[in-house]
Amino acid sequence: MYDKVRAIVISSLKYSDNSLIVKCFTQTMGTRSYLLQGVLAQKKGNLKTALFQPFMLLELVATHKNNGTLGRVKEAKIAVPYYSLHTDMYKSAVSMFLSEVCAFVCTSEAPDEEMFLFLEQKLLFFDRNDFSANFHLKFLLDITRYLGFYPDTTHEHLPSFSLEDGIFTTTDESKYTIAGTTLLLFKTLLHTDYPQLSTVKSNKNERNALLFQLLKYYEWHFPSFRQIKSLEVLQTLF
């Protein structure tokens, strides 16, 4: 039985000589994986490989089973087109990085429509506005609301943030806490909305220091989280 679903492509992996396994976060069925058999050899048909780039917003007609079985896609089309996400060098690098993060954290087959709408809205904002070097940091912070470990800001006046406990604290153990100028950027981003991100002053070293700490924060709270392969590219660019 085929279902029509809205989906965000998270990753695609070549399978055999001419097929792909595509992982998508869907609006109504959580994270699902599909086998696109023979898609790399097709010259005709609507299942073009370009549709399955990271973070593409699609409408799928596909099969779904709740036992981890790969689904099959009958039809796929763009739900909302992008203008710059995959053509701007900087936005493309950020998209690759964030889609790799999402591949590790978007794993449940349970539907999460609020998280889906968050992803869709922020990706469209990123696509249709000027590039901000702070976007990926804000995104990493905000998606933790849906993953269950958003920072507790109750005692935000304290001088450091514990990666292990997710709270502001007086303890300053640099290996496991955010402190100093990195903490200032962290606090600023917590209270800055996306349209104002370009007004946040930060340099490459400060952004990379915070990014390193945020990825450690994910490792503490998401045990299956692993090293991001595209991290080095992101750090090199900005």
Mean pLDDT of 184-194: 98
Q: What is the pLDDT of residue 67?
A: 75
Domain boundaries along the sequence of the chain: 2-78, 132-237
Report the distance separating Cα 212 and Cα 127, nearest Å: 25
Checking if the pLDDT of 44 tops 70, the result is: no
Q: How far is CA 182 from CA 20, 177, 204, 209, in A?
A: 40, 10, 12, 7
Query: Which overall architecture, per CATH, does domain 2-78 show?
Result: Beta Barrel (2.40)
Distance CA 39, CA 238 (A): 35
Greatest pairwise CA separation for the chain in angstroms: 62
Residue 215 makes CB contacts below 8 A (sequence gap 6+) with 140, 225, 228, 231
Contact 59, 79 (CB under 8 A): yes
What is the tens place of the pLDDT at every residue in 45-89? Answer: 678 888 999 999 999 999 998 777 899 999 999 999 999 999 999
Q: What percent of the chain has pLDDT over 90?
A: 77
Residue 174: its pLDDT value, please? 67
Residue 227 CB partners (closer than 8 Å, separation 6+): none
- Please state, rounded to an integer, the average pLDDT across all residues of the chain: 92
pLDDT of amino acid 43: 66
pLDDT in tens, 114-134: 999 999 999 999 999 999 999
